[in-house]
Every structure is written in C-alpha cells, then in structure tokens.
Structure 1
C-alpha cells in the first residue's frame, strides 16, 4: 500500500473494509508478484552489486580503436602499391568495421572519459575514429543510441525499432533491406528523428553524416576511376555492409526480440545464448545488464550478470539461457 493510499487517507473509503472486519487490501504487488518493500530491497541489493563492476581500466578500448583504425587506413596505399594481400585486408577490414562499434559504444556512454574529466578528449577521439569504417559519424551514432535507451522498444521513438523481425533469418535480411534506396529503413528513420529534434546538435549530426557519406563516395569513385575498384570494394564498401549487418543483427535484433510492448526496466533486453558465443556476439548475450547499467563496460557485463543473476531471477527475469 502506498503512503498516499486513499484507504488510509479517507475514512469514508476505509469504512467498507472496516465493516468486513478490517480486511484491508494487501501491499500492491508489482508485475513480478513482489510488494514494494521487497522490490525496494532487491533494487538496493542490485545497485550495490552493479557498483562493483563500474569503471576499471578503459585504455584497451583506446588502444584498440586507434591501432585498428591506423592499420585499416594503411590498407589503401598498401593496396595501391601492390603490397597488401587483399584477402587478408578484406577479412581484417570486416573485423575492424564490426569491432569499431564496440569501442565507439563505450564512448557513446562516456565510459572512457566523462564531461569535465581530463581524458574527455580521449573518449571523443575514440568515438570519432571507431565508426568511420562503417561511414557512421560518431555524433549521429551517439545521439541515436542514447535515444534508443531513452525510448527502448517504442515503435515510433526507438531509432532501432526498424530492425524488428519475426525470426533470425528475416532479421538478417532486413539488415540489408533497410539500407536499400527508397526503403524507409534505419538511416532514414535516424534522419527523421534527428530532424524532429530540431536542436543544433541534431543539425550538426545530419551535416556530419552527409559529409562523411560524400567522402566515402568520393574515395570509392576516385579509386575506381584510377583502376582500383576491387581494392576499394574489398577494403571499404563490402566490409562496411558486412559490418553494418552484423552490428544490426547482434546489437539490435538479437538482444531485443521480440520488441513489441517490452518497455519495462527488466524486459527491454533479453538474456540469450548465441551460437557464436559471447565474444563473437560482441557481449550481447548479457545486453540486459547494459540497459540496466550503461556505465558497466562491455567486457564486464557477463561477470556482472552472473553476480546479479539471483536478484534478476527474483525480479522475474528469464535467466534460463545462461
């Protein structure tokens, strides 16, 4: 029963209960069948456990971001000079394009350096270079990802809702279909949401998106015109599309499906078992932990989940997969 319960405040409302021998209603139960005191105690326990997994050394994310970007950038002159094995370059470019989103993801949540801290510049630099291989400026990536958190699984306001599909095969198809010209897919949904914000930050993100896309097209055209179309295709164009599909499947569809109506704190994301394992699914098996506590770095979400599992089970979370 809440402190403002009308049964306690209004004698006229209370009289029918008193006439039945004081059969007052029990404490209201939440969706998990727990009263508010139990829910409060569980939340305190949950927050105390989660606090242990926040922070830690984040420099490996910066090292990975800058070194991978430098190697990826060097592929282009090396390919032109004939010093690069294109098969190796293609495989690594796919890895860099996909993995770059993981490092940028930490920067989106300011886990590398928060505003006002001396290493804030590092946070912004990591974010800026990490998403270049997928032609996705950090400004837009951060704004859209935070909107996803603010409005998770809302069919209108969640920027990633366009990834929803009835099954995995259809979800993989949509990762490609949503990028086709004329399709009201992910990037068009992003631009529409940014335009609706009407803020200077949103306008800048739109401009940076257009600029990066123009640079992307210019590089591809120039290399193709110079006789290096295959090199451009294997080092940037195709890895970008493979990376985007992989990211949208594992970071968007897999941990959130089914999305419809799942807007509560403990139902925005699922605990699931990936066929490719925890690392190759980029830590998304325990993505729920990220939605509960975005400040926990990606590499610590699995350990955090295992520590929080007893509490989550009491809150009604399905933890049977892991």
Structure 2
C-alpha cells in the first residue's frame, strides 16, 4: 500500500480528526520550547557554575527551531495561520532562514520529494557520498554559507528560482533586506558586548551537527520513488527528541499527509506504521547505516 492508497483507506471522520488544528496545543508546545531556551539563555548570560556545559543542549534547542519553522511553512502548528506566519518570521533570524522563501522552497521539496532532478533540497550535488563530504555536511558549513548566500541574492539580485512565485518576489526581497539589516546590528553589538556570541553564534554552530544528522535521516538512503511511505524515513526515538523536533521524526507520516499538525502525528503513526517502508530504530542506527553505505560505495569504486 502506498501513501495515496493509505489516505483513501482512512475513514473520513478519522481524517477530519487528524487534520484538526489547535491554538492551545501549538502555543503550549511553543511556550515549552521558548521557555527552555529562555531559562538556558539566562543561565549562560549570568555565567552560572559550569555554564559552558549548557552550550550543547542550548545550541540544539536553537537549531531545532528549524523544525518549528518547517511546520509553520505548512501553517499547521496553530489553528490561526497568522500565528504560524508570525512565528515563522520570528525564528528566521537565529536560523538564517528567510521564512517566505523557505515556505516555497519547502513546498517544492514536498512536491518533488527525493527526485534528484527536481527536489530543491538535492540541488548542488545532493547528499554526502564520501566520508569527507559527510564531515563537511555535519559541520553545517553548507547550511550557513548557503543560507547566507540565499539571503544576499534575494536582497540584491534577480529572484528566479522556478518554485518562487513572481507575486512573492517583492516580499522575499524585503524579507532578505530586513534580515541583513538585523544581522548588521547584531554584528555591531559585538563591539560593545559578547552576548550575541554566547547566546547565538557559538551555540548555533555547536548545535548544527545534531540537526544535520536528523535532517539526513529524513530522506537519506531512501529511494527516489513517488511513494511517500518509501521515499521518506520515520526514525524511532525518545520523547525528548520528538518534542524538540516538533514530532517530525514521524517524517514519512508528515510527507504522506503534510497538513496533519505536529500534535496529531503520533495518532497518524499508529494507523500507518505497518505500511512504512523506510524506518530506522534510532538516529545512531541510521548514522551507522549511512557510514556503512559510504564505505560500500568506496569499495565498489575501487573494487
């Protein structure tokens, strides 16, 4: 059974329940994520005992705002889409991820998932194919440099990506210029205080490799087919990781029915689990499989 057959098999009442959005559930989860960030930021800023040890969990919590931004592109975390827009633009700053641009980039990814010729996530060479490529990927260099270049080009050059609708070009350009202005202010603030360094730059750099592993697992080692239950992976993990990632480890479920809000994905998972074709027991298990696949590719080339 592929994802289309699965959706057709759902009872209309169940389907309607799965698609129900909730301001309450979304805002509670948002308050939890932002609250944890705020508590750690206060402790780091006050340089409490052993404060550098918090840089890892704090950095992870920052970069995993990506999963929140991702959900906001679908306008599913809250009942009112305007809240998703506000939150998406808010988290664009620490992520170097312009929200309006990302919305259409991500929708194109959903339309052409894992298609090596049309999925924008695979533009520029696709996923790592050697250990060296993997190390560079995990460093986050491609993410930070690529997003910085995207913002700069959107601000000052022609916007011509085929997935960006012309009616949104003006908004995308304004968004990029606002972000550049804000980053300039942040850079100037470093002349007077190191807070931006310790509350954003350093922890975000530290946290990015963890996000890279998570994102690589979403579609890495999955075949370039049309079935969302096969071209996308669900990774089984613990509640903490699912919470910080807004339940996106249930990723095949999300791709099969992208308008199901994050809080309903566990319920969707119980219905579709027996039909999933690409899964991993953990992110550690996936990482081992990925490294093994690189070794096998290397041996095949030199065999």
Q: Give the match's secondary structure for 1:195.
A: coil
How many residue pairs were aligned?
Answer: 269
Residue 258 of structure 1: aligned partner: 221
Q: Could you tell me whether the CA contact under 8 Å between 2:113 and 2:231 is conserved in 1?
A: yes
Superposition pairs of residues 97-108 of structure 1, within 5 angstroms: 97-108=62-73
For 1:83 and 1:97, how far apart are their aligned partners in 2? 18
57 and 64 in structure 1: CA distance in 2 versus 1, 3 angstrom threshold: same
Residue 123 of structure 1 pairs with residue 87 of structure 2: no
Normalising by structure 1, what TM-score? 0.65
Residue 287 of structure 1 pairs with residue 242 of structure 2: no
Residue 301 of structure 1 pairs with residue 265 of structure 2: yes
For 2:17 and 2:184, how far apart are their aligned partners in 1? 46
The structure with the largest helix share of the pair is: 2
For 2:179 and 2:225, how far apart are their aligned partners in 1? 34
Residue 186 of structure 2: aligned partner: 219
Structure 1 stretches lacking a partner, 5+ long: 1-31
Superposition pairs of residues 35-114 of structure 1, within 5 angstroms: 43-46=7-10, 48=12, 49-65=14-30, 83=46, 85=48, 87=52, 90=55, 93-112=58-77
Residue 175 of structure 2: aligned partner: 208
65 and 113 in structure 1: CA distance in 2 versus 1, 3 angstrom threshold: closer
Structure 2 stretches lacking a partner, 5+ long: 283-303
267 and 88 in structure 1: CA distance in 2 versus 1, 3 angstrom threshold: same
Normalising by structure 2, what TM-score? 0.68
Between the two structures, name the one with larger relative contact order (CA 8 Å, sep ≥ 6). 2
59 and 174 in structure 1: CA distance in 2 versus 1, 3 angstrom threshold: same
Residues 91-148 of structure 1, C-alpha deviation per residue, up to 9 Å, x if partnerless? 564244234223333321111457xxxx332222222223322132221222221121
Residue 113 of structure 2: aligned partner: 152
Q: Give the match's secondary structure for 1:131.
A: helix
258 and 100 in structure 1: CA distance in 2 versus 1, 3 angstrom threshold: same
Query: Over the residues paired in the alignment, what is the CA RMSD in angstroms?
Result: 4.1
